[in-house]
Structure 1
């Protein structure tokens, strides 16, 4: 028995040493040191509840309706894993609207009725009523945009969009969190001049984008740090940025403004897993060479949507511990409903738009 144990632990040591050696040769990341901000977890205004337990759904023809756009005529649009953008209604009628040959994520309509889409692989796209796809932006300063993520449009037509990472694409986006190099960016695009302007860089996975009242500022979610930054577009602070919301317990994905007084923030997972390895670059390097399924083990999916007011204070906390509709990536107010998107579901969800609960 003693010899068997010796052989076992000897073999195990060889495997571990081989894994460590391999990670230094093959690791796709160069892990950076970073400090996790305070994490309140599910306490106080973030306390667990069941306010998302009764979500109605509309089935999609494929996985992952990440965002939902409202057309104003009773129809809704969403992009799926296989590149489809589908048109659907509450009755479950679903038709193909367009095919981007990429991965459509955030989307919204412009004033002329065209659907503006942030496609992770294809860039910033414009899709007319007939479903014809036009590329607006797919590079900056001669370098291809790696991961276009979300979009919003100002009254003057300027399109604000995020590029989540300069290092990693959608299919290996987890590596951005394990590396922690913070290369996300916020851009502005003018359809009139076709000029692209860099507004903010150095963001830890730049994600959801939403304009505030009177287009005075634009918000950008930093998923890796659990916070929302604000870039001022008007007034004495124009051209500067500050933190709008911080110390969120989850990983903020998309953000949408209801046009009145509330921003809705979707959080697909909790921050704990990412935070735990912030100060362990060697471990992050080791994990980066593992299969994706093992990399995902650090994530804790939840059913979690927050509403915050114009001061960044939490006014609505919606959760479902049973994870009925989970890994929510967007919460879009459409008339009297709040529509939910998810990368992990094969349906779009909706519920009556909640009133403030806090």
Structure 2
């Protein structure tokens, strides 16, 4: 695919905090027959779901021994969630917001890809079927996510679909909004603003209903998918640690980034080989768990899901999902 032109703007990032010391428990890696198992979802039987870049949605049994294709969206599935009616919600970068029958494989389009929904990325679902979801960029395709980072114009949006099908834009002008997580009591919803290194919370009930605030700011990595664990914590997948050189680059005149974007892929800055997930308290933002380590045999974690003391990982780059047990 030909690279699109970029029109960068200058952005001054705050100074990054330090990474934690290595603390990652040993990983178990389950390979799948497709590339880019970007997100992970677990059902009440311990089966693990993921989507790969050829459009298939896959299910691994709880022991990792059997792999089934349950549907083919014909697009690029990213974030996955459970719907109240038993179907899977699939955020598809090429097709929009979808509902997938996990028995028949039937695919229903809830919100089609259109000029109003360009890159559907991740979502959270309330008990009544209201869906909060992200549209990461109005400018670029998923394969050109680096262009959105270098340009830094902030065209992403945070949206809501109500059970009657009404879609509302709740916030726009966002820097690649990504993961979404819902409080266990549904009092608030949180989304990751990836290029701003922060998590934003929208209060859904109580005295502050309708207000946005920042729950975690100046994060030390790029927050990708987020989720609410069975422990009630908000889990964050850091796709990559922050790079001081990139933060410096974003301060420079746009012409420099245009020149960098024209370089062959092999000459551009590459992602670091790391695995990093963090859990925070959804009310206070306090860090509760922080697992970081070198990505030996697995890297670029873009999805995380804690389920009964086990932490499952997805990756935009790997042909596998992975997990570790909480110490």
Is TM (by shorter chain) over 0.5?
yes
Partner of 2:240: 269
1:92-103 to structure 2, matched below 5 A, reads 92-103=65-76
1:323-342 to structure 2, matched below 5 A, reads 323-342=296-315
TM-score by length of 2: 0.93
Q: CA RMSD in A?
A: 1.7
Query: 1:236 is paired with a residue of what secondary structure?
Result: coil
1:336-355 to structure 2, matched below 5 A, reads 336-354=309-327
Partner of 2:132: 160
Matched, 1:317 2:317: no
Shift of 1:153: 0.3
| Residue deviations 1:11-38 (CA, integer Å, cap 9, x gap) | xxxxxxxxxxxxxxx9711101211122
Partner of 1:130: 104
What is the alpha-carbon distance in structure 1 between the residues aligned to residue 270 and residue 67 of structure 2?
35
Partner of 1:207: 178
What is the alpha-carbon distance in structure 1 between the residues aligned to residue 295 and residue 136 of structure 2?
30
Shift of 1:50: 3.4
Matched, 1:41 2:12: no
Gaps of 5+ in 1: 1-25
Higher-Rg member (1/2): 1
1:231-310 to structure 2, matched below 5 A, reads 231-272=202-243, 273-280=245-252, 281-295=254-268, 297-310=269-282
Query: How many residues in Structure 1 have an aligned counterpart in Structure 2?
Result: 320
What is the alpha-carbon distance in structure 1 between the residues aligned to residue 127 and residue 231 of structure 2?
15
What is the alpha-carbon distance in structure 2 between the residues aligned to residue 77 and residue 27 of structure 1?
33
Q: Which structure shows the higher strand fraction?
A: 2
TM-score by length of 1: 0.85
Matched, 1:56 2:28: yes
| Residue deviations 1:208-238 (CA, integer Å, cap 9, x gap) | 0001131111111011111101111112222
What is the alpha-carbon distance in structure 2 between the residues aligned to residue 299 and residue 225 of structure 1?
18
CA contact (8 A) 2:273 2:295 kept: no
Matched, 1:184 2:153: no
Assess, with a 3 A threshold, how the Cα gap between structure 1 residues 67 and 144 changes in structure 2: closer, same or farther. same
Query: 1:175 is paired with a residue of what secondary structure?
Result: helix
Gaps of 5+ in 2: none
Q: Which structure shows the higher helix fraction?
A: 1
